[in-house]
Amino acid sequence: MTLLENQDHEWLNSRIEAYLDGDLSESDRVRFELLMEAEKTIWEDVNLANQIVATLRNVRDEACPDYVLAGVMSHVRSDLRRSAWAQVQSFFLRLNAAHLKPAFAVVVLFLMVFTSTQIGKPAKESPMAVAQALDDVKWTLAFLSEAGRTTGSTVKSDVIEDQVVGPMSRNFPSKSEN
């Protein structure tokens, strides 16, 4: 049997949370504690409420599984790749945009004119290249001269001596022989 009036019981019941949170005024807190001592069920409720709060506050944060971070970062990397590719695509799309077409045509025209002015124009001479070319010519002429000299002496010894000089000597004896 409760020792309290109904209104006291209701008053207590509605203030359990405020009492636990320390939100009651000093006079209310004193009244609450006096009434609580007289009412066992309220005392049990306060005890249970304390136990609930204490138990919940002992629950620690769970460690998040490693695959969550791995999955998130994998998404970030693929997103970065996608956005880099999108930037390249948008650059080319902008290049193809209508207002850039005339500029592109001017560049092409300039390249065509420049190329045509270069056709048939003699290459610029560099002093090194000229010296090298003259050297090559000298060596070529020297080689040809040597080749001519060798060929001439061979012809003289192999053909002219035997076939021309010999018979002529025989047919026209020298004055000393006469």
Q: Which of 69, 84, 109, 159 binds other proteins (CB under 8 A)?
A: 69
Give buried/exposed letters for 139-169 (b at 16+ CB in 10 A, else e).
eeeeeeeeeeeeeeeeeeeeeeeeeeeeeee
The window from 2-10, 27-35, 59-67, 161-169 that contacts other proteins (CB under 8 A) reads 59-67
Least distance from other proteins to the Cβ atom of residue 74, Å = 10
Q: Which of 1, 72, 112, 128 binds other proteins (CB under 8 A)?
A: 72
Which residue is associated with the tokens 């080319």?
A: 92
CA angle 6, 9, 13 (to 5 degrees): 140
Which residue is associated with the tokens 């850039």?
A: 100
Least distance from other proteins to the Cβ atom of residue 54, Å = 10
Least distance from other proteins to the Cβ atom of residue 95, Å = 26
Least distance from other proteins to the Cβ atom of residue 18, Å = 8
> Do residues 16 and 46 touch, judged by C-beta distance below 8 A?
yes
Q: Which of 1, 6, 22, 62 binds other proteins (CB under 8 A)?
A: 62
**Residue 87 makes contact with other proteins by CB under 8 A:** no
Q: Helix, strand, or coil here: 127?
A: helix
**Residue 73 makes contact with other proteins by CB under 8 A:** yes
How buried is residue 12: exposed, middle or buried, by Cβ count under 10 Å (0-12/13-18/19+)?
buried
Site residues for other proteins per CB under 8 A: 16-18, 20, 45, 48-49, 51-53, 55-65, 67-69, 71-73, 75-77, 79-80
